[in-house]
Structure 1
Amino acid sequence: MPNSLTNQEADSNRSASLPFSLTILGAGSATPTLRLHQTAQLLTIGSDYVLIDCGEGTQLRLIEQRIRPGRLRYIFISHLHGDHYFGLAPLLSSLNLGGRTEDLFLFGPRGLDEVLTTIFRVSDSRLGYRLHFQPVDPNTPTILLDHPQMTVQSIPLQHRIDCTGYLFRQKPHKPHLLRDRLPDDVPVAYLKQLKDGQDILGGDGEILYASTDYTVPASDPRSYAYCSDTRYVEELVPQLHGVNLLYHEATFMDDNAQRAAEVYHSTAKQAAAIAAKAEVGRLLIGHFSSRYKQFDLFLEEARTIFPETYLAIEGETTAI
């Protein structure tokens, strides 16, 4: 079986060509190495870019992947350990230097606004765009964003400090219109009605065009759950149940399970156990400790419990 989602998904190209996709920018943990960068992911949904965590050097990773940072609209930060947000202030500053004027929406733990305010104050930096900050309750699942294409809900995690994961769900799609079946002179208003699932009726109530005859059902909406730093928490299972793709940290292997518990992290086996209990479609593991030089053993360990496990490979994009 392939180790990465990209190898499994033959049609996975760059995020710009996928309507709902994930690009791994960093899959390492607290200490960066020459092989792994600190945590950051880019979620593409429609024409919007969503950044999830922003470890040191994230803006360089975006440039390396030929992703335009100016297209970012939403940023979600899980917690205030440096490997998950030390790249944020430089990114925000670079967006300003690049002439950004569009509003940017930032979600994260209380205190993040104080950190950024202090950095910009002592450096006498002023942003030329509005940065909207919304603090996230670390204890209660909450709908944070109701976007035309998706909703975002917080996932309470258990780490050494307040830490939050995020659940991204596409909204149901409208049916696809089969325009080649319709006469060329059909009014545009009829097309919208058909896509909305409404039949077109004549003056005496007869059906002129049935929606089911001229549309095909859209694909099912997809979902992605991001579980950043956390110990093994079975209480997550109901909220994660049935998601298409779950990212769950796997900092350690089972031989360091005691160490994982002490520092509120998870092992590959524990991540797989959560995926199995939640009956998710696929599991992506990352946040690997720098003590490990090879990661295939993480995969082998997790797949003994949940076969549809894959490694988070930096630079790879996969359709969700």
Structure 2
Amino acid sequence: MKFEVTILGSNSALPTTKRYPTAQVLNVLERFFLIDCGEGTQIQMKRFKVPMSRINHIFISHTHGDHIFGLIGLLSTYALQGRKSDLHIYGHRKLEKLITFQLEILETKKQYNIYFHTIFGQETQTLFEDDKVFVQSFPLKHGAMPCAGFLVKEKERPRTLLADLLDQYNIPIRCRQSLKMGKDFVTESGDVIPNKQLTKDPLPTRSYAFCTDTAPYKKIIPIIKNVDLLYHEATFLKTEAKLAKATYHSTSEQAAEIANEAEVKKLIIGHFSTRFKTLDEHLKEAQTVFENTSLAEDGKKFTIELDR
């Protein structure tokens, strides 16, 4: 029951030899999601052994180049590999125009279908949902450029049946699904056996929020409240606070303040400016405000464990 984030790229607009532009892969209960697709993303996938063929959903936060320049290369590779399964891409409406144009110009012959889903239609939007997981988008603050954050969360699990007590009370199989859903059991004689006597609480759900390319934006706090893991951009240090404000980015300190107010369990900071050769000061600045902070480093994995 894995819930794991792999950092494929942690830098901002300009790649370096050690830090690629933004891209992440999530494995949530063996559902693989790609978030953003900066230049070199597929190279990083191969380097860090990401199963490319299992990615069926790609979420693009906005159409700045450092978040999309790897996408046409990935789609072309899928065509060359003979991919046949459908691919869903979620992003701004301009993204569909761009990718469609590129595929046409390159005369890409593919055997798979691409389905584009437009976001920015409303404040919070459910993009993907099945019986175990859902993904929502929400607006960030990146100047005139529409930019979305993403919330990935497990759905609440059914309650766990206590097998010995089920047998003891001779509870028929047809009634057990309703017990998982929290209903009490009523015997043929009309006696009520409370649900909590026959079941135990399920394992807690896990959640991840992705917030890149944004000025500090307190409207997101109710949305990301109490998530297990928050990724928040920290392009600059507080010494560059004026530059961060002018470019609608955040400092490490500001990212930590958002994490603190949202009462998240763990913070990852990333999207670092190329001007910084080392990131020790980013980590120190954030940890002064929010101790449980880690750096987004290319190839690093963050696993949310299941705890009772």
Settle same-fold status: TM greater than 0.5: yes
Look up the match of 2:3.
20
Q: 1:60, CA displacement in angstroms? A: 1.6
Q: 1:265, CA displacement in angstroms? A: 1.1
Look up the match of 2:189.
204
Q: Secondary structure at the match of 2:35?
A: strand
1:6-155 aligned within 5 A: 18-137=1-120, 140-155=123-138
Residues 254, 268 of structure 1: 8 Å contact kept: yes
> Which segment drifts farther, 213-222 or 269-278?
213-222
In structure 1, how many angstroms separate the alpha carbons of the residues matched to 2:196 and 2:223?
Answer: 34
In structure 2, how many angstroms separate the alpha carbons of the residues matched to 1:177 and 1:99?
Answer: 45
Q: Secondary structure at the match of 2:298?
A: coil
Match of 1:216 among 200, 218, 243: 200
In structure 1, how many angstroms separate the alpha carbons of the residues matched to 2:221 and 2:159?
Answer: 31
In structure 1, how many angstroms separate the alpha carbons of the residues matched to 2:75 and 2:172?
Answer: 46
Change (3 A) 1:94 1:214: farther
Residues 243, 281 of structure 1: 8 Å contact kept: yes
Q: 1:204, CA displacement in angstroms? A: 3.4
Unaligned runs of 5+ in 1: 1-17
Residue 266 of structure 1 pairs with residue 250 of structure 2: yes
> Aligned AA for 1:162?
P
In structure 2, how many angstroms separate the alpha carbons of the residues matched to 1:176 and 1:98?
Answer: 43
In structure 1, how many angstroms separate the alpha carbons of the residues matched to 2:34 and 2:163?
Answer: 36
> Which segment drifts farther, 132-141 or 267-276?
132-141
Residues 79, 108 of structure 2: 8 Å contact kept: no
Cα offsets for 1:232-256 (capped at 9, x unmatched): 2223223222222111100111111
Q: TM-score, normalised by structure 1?
A: 0.86
In structure 1, how many angstroms separate the alpha carbons of the residues matched to 2:122 and 2:133?
Answer: 22
Residues 138, 163 of structure 1: 8 Å contact kept: no
In structure 2, how many angstroms separate the alpha carbons of the residues matched to 1:49 and 1:34?
Answer: 27
Change (3 A) 1:63 1:155: same
Q: TM-score, normalised by structure 2?
A: 0.89
Q: Tell me the percent identity.
A: 40
> Which segment drifts farther, 99-108 or 31-40?
99-108
Residues 27, 38 of structure 1: 8 Å contact kept: yes
In structure 2, how many angstroms separate the alpha carbons of the residues matched to 1:187 and 1:77?
Answer: 48
Change (3 A) 1:100 1:215: farther
Residues 19, 298 of structure 2: 8 Å contact kept: yes
1:273-288 aligned within 5 A: 273-288=257-272
Q: 1:98, CA displacement in angstroms? A: 2.3
Q: 1:196, CA displacement in angstroms? A: 3.2
Look up the match of 1:296.
280
Unaligned runs of 5+ in 2: none
Number of equivalent positions: 302
